[in-house]
Amino acid sequence: MMKREQRETQSRRKNALTREAIIETSIAILDRDGEKGLTFQALSSRLETGAGAIYWHINDKDDLLAAACDAVLHPAIATIVDHESPAHAIRGLASSLFDLLDDHPWIGSTLTRFPTQIAMIRLLEHLGGHIRAVGVHQNQEWAAASTLLMYMLGVGSQNAANAQLAREQALERSHFLDEVASAWSQLSADQYPFVQSNAERMRTHDDRDDFLTGIDFILKGIIAAGIR
């Protein structure tokens, strides 16, 4: 690959900059270096352009983050296949979402920060469709779908925060949770009996299992509320 030669006069880039290219590169940076890694300096240097050029294609950094979030979520949500039952479908959606948030931890906080974005609407729509298929009363369907979504966002944000803290301390994620478990296990058993006695579980537990157990609790509650 040849390096682009320095010209005496200012020259335009040959391969046009596009909004899509900017978003793709942003995603790559976010995945590699986290949310703090995405700066206009890093972005323009990777794209071999000036910082100002990017502003021709995007409004501002929030616009960029929301677009990156949508770009990752949209195909992932669309790919979800049908399931035998609506409850299985919700579980499947939750499961896919968990994996996605695990691979792209920055999505957790981004999705929460821009609630009006299209990705959130599509998520709600999917959840709502399955909720209706379960047969929830009409005046409860919104609360039911919201509860599932809020729970997913809560876990997602938490994963994002853990990933961020682990990155700052330059630790593996598992090692980071180990540190937390150690700290919690040293809490006074008098003051914090519940947390202290469950600290060991932090070391051995599977985030994914816990997440899906939570989904099951909520589903069970929604269905139980419907049939009473």
Partner DNA sequence: ACCTGAACACCGTTCAAGT
Of the pair 59, 85, the CB lying nearest DNA is at 59
What is the C-alpha end-to-end distance of the chain, expressed in Å?
Answer: 69
Summary count for the chain: helices (H), strands (E)? 11, 0
Binding footprint of a second copy on the chain (CB under 8 A): 112-116, 121, 124-125, 127-129, 131-132, 140-147, 149-155, 157-158, 161-162, 164-165, 180, 183-184, 187, 191-195, 198, 201, 205, 210, 213-214, 216-222, 224-225
Sequence-distant (6+) residues with CB within 8 A of 21 are 47
Minimum CB separation from DNA for residue 161, in Å?
A: 17
Interface map 11-50 toward DNA (x if CB under 7 A): xxx--xx--------------------xxxxx-----xxx
Of the pair 47, 149, the CB lying nearest a second copy is at 149
20 is in the binding site of which of DNA, a second copy, none (Cβ under 5 to 8 A by kind)?
none
The token pair at 123 is 């998520």
Cα 149 to Cα 13: distance, rounded to the nearest angstrom: 43
Q: Of all helices (H) and strands (E), which one includes residue 223?
A: helix 207-227
